[in-house]
Structure 1
């Protein structure tokens, strides 16, 4: 997914392409002329280098970002980056600390840059938290049975940090609904459009509002 998606509006439709070199609209076959509101714009890719996004929840797949189109526990893996981009993630072998491997993932930054003290606390607490016996490799199968594993590790830590910051924790459904699903839906739509353009040269996504 190295190409940039471009969106423009023509004949009342949103049209996606990789290049605007074509002179005719693929929907109405008329010559392309754009006013300022309809001009082509490059879309921001929803996948980022997780090692460059500090203090964030990272959602990735060993099979690449195209496998993040749907929310499948068997296909995704979740980690937490520290302020230096080291990614902590709970696996069958226990908690890993990855310096690479999270270059193309969905990133949800949880600690803003201006909260310097909270960022310092994040790093310290993440290192301590990851060493707890709760996240030993022997417990991975038990956590997986209850649907936790890497996601449970991440959410438990996030709620720990919320508590330290004087805020209430979030249930799995609350956090997923407010933070994860919107990003995953956007990523899924981007992947669908990207594949359509890759196959047909364009994608017509319906009537523009």
Structure 2
């Protein structure tokens, strides 16, 4: 999923294609006429929903060992989550215990959790995250037990997030609250982007039929 996606307006429809395709010499897939654009119909780039998690400080990261194209649906066998520190090192709970990854999260969904102006929070985040990661409950021997309770990597991340919220004088978030507020809206955008991308790969374009498709 390395190609950039663009959207243009033609025949009162939103049409998507890859930016590497020269739309100026192509036909409209709706009317089959040579494409011409007014100012308001000119192609615009669609932001890619995937980010290099190692370049986002103090964030909740959602990735997949199978690549970003598998992030379209929430699937516990494919989705893996972690937390970046202020230097982009990603802490994530696995079968072998807590890992600290310096690479491997270059194409993931990011939820920044610390405002850029809060340097005090950044410094505290790094110290607390390292201390939190060596607690006995996150030992490799406890992984199966955590998985039985539906926790594992998500439980590790959310427990730490709530710990930092408590230190900052904020109320804890339940799993449903955090997921509904921060995860599901982003995953919906990712799913839409992936569907559009795959349609372009298959047909050379994608036509939005309703506002929900965009």
Q: TM over 0.5: same fold? A: yes
Aligned to 2:46: 43
Asked if residue 14 in structure 1 is aligned to residue 14 in structure 2, the reply is yes
Aligned to 1:100: 103
Query: Given the two structures, how large is their TM-score scaled by the length of structure 2?
Result: 0.94
> How far does residue 23 in structure 1 lie from its aligned partner after superposition?
3.2
Aligned to 1:197: 200
Asked if residue 78 in structure 1 is aligned to residue 81 in structure 2, the reply is yes
Map 1:133-148 to 2 at 5 A: 133-148=136-151
Q: How many angstroms apart in 2 are the aligned matches of 1:109 and 1:150? A: 17
Q: How many angstroms apart in 1 are the aligned matches of 2:187 and 2:204? A: 24
Aligned residues, how many? Answer: 209
Unaligned runs of at least 5 residues, structure 2: none
Q: Deviations over 1:50-105 (max 9, x none)?
A: 10111001100111001101000100100000000000000001100011111110
RMSD: 1.3
CA contact (8 A) 2:24 2:35 kept: no
Query: Given the two structures, how large is their TM-score scaled by the length of structure 1?
Result: 0.97
CA contact (8 A) 2:7 2:43 kept: yes
Q: How many angstroms apart in 2 are the aligned matches of 1:50 and 1:207? A: 32
CA contact (8 A) 2:24 2:36 kept: no
Determine which of 68, 80, 84 is the counterpart of 1:65: 68
CA contact (8 A) 2:62 2:80 kept: yes
Q: How many angstroms apart in 1 are the aligned matches of 2:174 and 2:152? A: 15
* Matched residue SS, 1:57: strand
Q: Which has the higher contact order (CA 8 A, sep 6+)?
A: 1
> How far does residue 207 in structure 1 lie from its aligned partner after superposition?
4.5
Asked if residue 24 in structure 1 is aligned to residue 21 in structure 2, the reply is no
Of residues 154-163 and 36-45 in structure 1, the stretch that sits farther from structure 2 once superposed is 36-45
Aligned to 2:154: 151
Q: How many angstroms apart in 1 are the aligned matches of 2:38 and 2:163? A: 51
> How far does residue 31 in structure 1 lie from its aligned partner after superposition?
3.0
Structure 1's consecutive aligned runs of 4 or more residues displaced over 6 angstroms after TM superposition are: none
* Matched residue SS, 1:119: helix
